[in-house]
Amino acid sequence: MRERNPCVYIMASGRHGTIYIGATSDLMARVYQHREGLIDGSTKRYGVKRLVFYEMHETMDAAIVREKRLKAWKRDWKIALIETDNPFWEDLAIHLGFPPPT
């Protein structure tokens, strides 16, 4: 069975706010879950609804390896990674068809 578009993603509550790193095989569904507060825990508690970074991978295993590496990074490194392509922490989900988060 072929995996669907595995990726690593970073969600944030706002610019330089709370960040969450995850891996998924369905980015659209995962963003929806975060946006709607369907995932209990810190992302729901701190309003982490903005997609600020994502990168696609060939396999889910590769995405999980990258996710674990990013989670081990210092916060400054994570911020630098986000700001390389998204300096203003725009919500990239809007470009995928989602409305701005509420």
Residues 6 or more apart from 80 whose CB is under 8 A from it? none
- The CATH number for 65's domain is 3.40.1440
Asked whether residue 87 is assigned to any structural domain, the reply reads: yes
Asked whether residue 1 is assigned to any structural domain, the reply reads: no
Asked whether residue 65 is assigned to any structural domain, the reply reads: yes
Q: What local confidence, expressed as pLDDT, does residue 1 receive?
A: 40
Q: pLDDT tens across 36-94, in order?
A: 999 888 899 999 999 999 999 999 999 999 999 999 999 999 999 999 999 999 999 99
Domain hosting residue 90, numbered range: 7-96
Beta strands (DSSP E) in 1-102 are: 7-12, 19-24, 50-56
Asked whether residue 39 is assigned to any structural domain, the reply reads: yes
* Domain total of the chain: 1
Q: Collapsing DSSP states into helix, strand and coil, what is residue 3?
A: coil
